Amino acid sequence: MPKPRRVNIQQKQYQNQSIKRYYRNVKYPIVPISGNDIYITATVNQRLDLVAKRFYNDVDLWWVINIANPNLVPRDSIYIPIGAQVRIPANVNAIVEQFEEINNK
C-alpha cells in the first residue's frame, strides 16, 4: 500500500563507494464524489489512520481519505480538525487500483 510521497527507484554505486539514489514522486488519483460516499463530522483527536481503520479496516488507506478531502489536514499532521466534515469515499478498491496503475508505469 502507498505510504511515501517519493519512492526510491534506483541506486547507483560509484567507484569511490558513494551511492546516489534517484527518486520519483508518487502520484495520487483524483477521487470523484459519489452518491455512496459517507460523511462524518470529526470529533476530538480523530485521525486519518483511525478513520481508515474504522471504515476500510486498514490504517494504511488513510491517504484515500486525505486526497478526498484536500486542504483539510496539514501536511505535517494526521489529525482532523474538530468539527470538520470529512468525506469517506465508498469506492476504495477502485481508487487503490487507479493509484497502482498510475504509479507502476
- Express each pLDDT in 51-83 by its tens digit: 999 999 999 999 999 999 988 988 788 999 999
Asked if residue 37 is part of any domain, the answer here is yes
Spell out where 1-105 has E strands. 6-13, 19-25, 38-41, 85-88
When pLDDT is cut at 50, 70 and 90, the band that residue 10 belongs to is: low
Domain count, the chain: 1
In whole angstroms, give the CA distance from residue 88 to residue 86: 6
Nearest CA-CA partner of 63 in 102, 38, 95? 95
Asked if residue 76 is part of any domain, the answer here is yes
Q: Terminal CA-to-CA distance of the chain, rounded, Å?
A: 16
What length does the chain have? 105
Give me the pLDDT at residue 105, please: 64
- Note whether 28 and 4 are within 8 A (CB): no
Asked if residue 9 is part of any domain, the answer here is no
Domain that includes residue 39, residue range: 30-103
Asked if residue 64 is part of any domain, the answer here is yes
| Residue range 9-19: mean pLDDT, rounded | 71
Give me the pLDDT at residue 1, please: 43
Tell me the pTM: 0.78
Residue with cell 489512520: 49
Domain CATH code at residue 45: 3.10.350
Kindly report the number of other CB atoms within 10 A of residue 31's CB atom.
21
| Residue range 12-36: mean pLDDT, rounded | 83
